[in-house]
Amino acid sequence: MHRSATDPGRRVLHLAQPVGGGVARVVLDLTKAQLTAGLRVTVACPPDGELAGAARELGADVRGWRADRSPGAGLGDEVRRLGRLLDAVRPELVHAHSAKAGLAGRLAVRGRVPTLFQPHAWSFEAVGGVTAALALRWERWGARWAHRVVCVSEAERATGVRAGIRARYAVVPNGIDTGHFAPGAPGAPGRSGPGAPLVVCVGRLCRQKGQDVLLRAWPEVLRRVPGARLALVGDGPDGAALRRLAPASVEFAGAVADVRPWYRAADLVVLPSRWEGMALAPLEAMACGRPVLVTDVDGARESLPPGHGEHCLVPPGRPGVLAGAVAALLLDPELRASLGDRGRRHVQSTHDARRSAQAVAELYRELLGERPLMSFERRESIHS
């Protein structure tokens, strides 16, 4: 008997490591939508971090899978543990998120059931030297065991193609919950008082997110906008080093349970990343009606409304250029208000999580034997 991809008998396994930040939010948004649609959803991930508990609260079957964030000597044991988990869960489709889960998942499954791999930014961009070469070699080789490689932006897909990763690609832009992230009363965390503009940077404190570049730019911002304040929201491995760079006008807020008050309090949200697939923080900030300034990395142009690049996009790793763009926006409240309003409407129409979940559902239907929608057929590119 032919069964729908949303038949209650269909079981989907989401495999994730890391278990926080944007990866966790994407997995949780998909889990919520898929449970609502009637799928049986299992989430396999390390038991620490935000993902396991939140997925369990949604009603997903959560299985602990102990795995380090980066490949290492324990990879063989991680793959074997995952193999036993697969035998117990018996999913009809595996959706592996990020480099580590993608590595272990494809080694364990080896194409025996439909497998989606979603890099959430390519692993070889995060490292250098021999490690980058090994990561790229693996991605080229491991692509044979992914029925689809799901990129969150056309730019991320293009990066994979240029790198020689021959795969069947599909592009599903990131989405966020536009009901949850919405304009509201600022609450003003960290603000020193009326007239003191607040710049907010939300993200893991690590090299990828580029907070060090923003801190090097900050003295010039202060020279042009005296009294401006900067808040770094998040934690991570570079926290101590960043604190040593930061002047007194910078606040380290740490990880917060609800980031919305920070977005709503911000005069400007900045994400100076060195690489991304498509960052969630700018989408969340725009959904809250705030103007954003981002670096021109994968997914950034695609996440902005048409015409925003002139004011809201700077090259990565350039503190002087970043400082000039931050100061110019802080000194132009009318422009910030216009950018915030247009950004909110853009995210509502283009980056709602429900649209992303529907696009992923179309992929699932295709891989489970049903005819895909024509609109999604046009998105997919096959490189062989």
Every domain of the chain and the residues it spans: 11-175+352-382, 198-350
Q: Cα separation of 270 and 329, whole Å?
A: 11
Q: Cα separation of 360 and 367, whole Å?
A: 11
The reply to whether omega before 91 is within 30° of 0 (cis) is no
**Among 181, 183, 135, which Cα is nearest to 160's?**
135
Pick the CATH number of 198-350 from 3.40.50.2300, 3.40.50.1970, 3.40.50.2000, 3.30.565.10: 3.40.50.2000
Q: Exposed, middle or buried: residue 73 (CB in 10 Å: 0-12, 13-18, 19+)?
A: exposed
**Among 153, 120, 146, which Cα is nearest to 382's?**
146
Whether the per-residue pLDDT at 384 is higher than 80: the answer is no
Query: What per-residue confidence (pLDDT) applies to 184?
Result: 86
Q: What is the pLDDT of residues 251-293, one digit of tens each?
A: 999 999 999 999 999 999 999 999 999 999 999 999 999 999 9
Average predicted confidence (pLDDT) for the chain = 90
Q: What is the pLDDT of residues 213-253, one digit of tens each?
A: 999 999 999 999 999 999 999 999 999 999 999 988 899 99
Query: What per-residue confidence (pLDDT) applies to 259?
Result: 96
The sign of the CA dihedral 47, 51, 54, 56 is negative
CATH number of 11-175+352-382: 3.40.50.2000
Q: What is the pLDDT of residues 98-130, one digit of tens each?
A: 998 999 999 999 999 999 999 999 988 878 788
Q: What angle do CA 370, 372, 374 make, to 5 degrees?
A: 155
Helix runs in the chain, H state only: 21-37, 50-58, 75-89, 98-109, 129-142, 154-162, 211-224, 239-245, 260-265, 280-287, 300-303, 309-312, 319-330, 333-350, 353-367, 374-379
Q: What is the pLDDT of residues 298-352, one digit of tens each?
A: 999 999 999 887 899 999 999 999 999 999 999 999 999 999 999 999 999 999 9
**Among 158, 378, 180, which Cα is nearest to 283's?**
180
Return the higher-pLDDT residue of 74 and 327: 327
Q: 135-149 in b/e burial notation, b at 16+ Cβ within 10 A? A: bbebbbebbebbbbb
53, 20 Cβ separation under 8 angstroms: no
Whether the per-residue pLDDT at 383 is higher than 60: the answer is no
Q: What angle do CA 67, 73, 79 make, to 5 degrees?
A: 45
Query: What per-residue confidence (pLDDT) applies to 74?
Result: 75
Number of other residues whose CB lies within 10 A of the CB of residue 186: 17
What is the pTM for the complete model shown? 0.87
Q: Please give the DSSP secondary-structure letter assigned to residue 125.
A: G
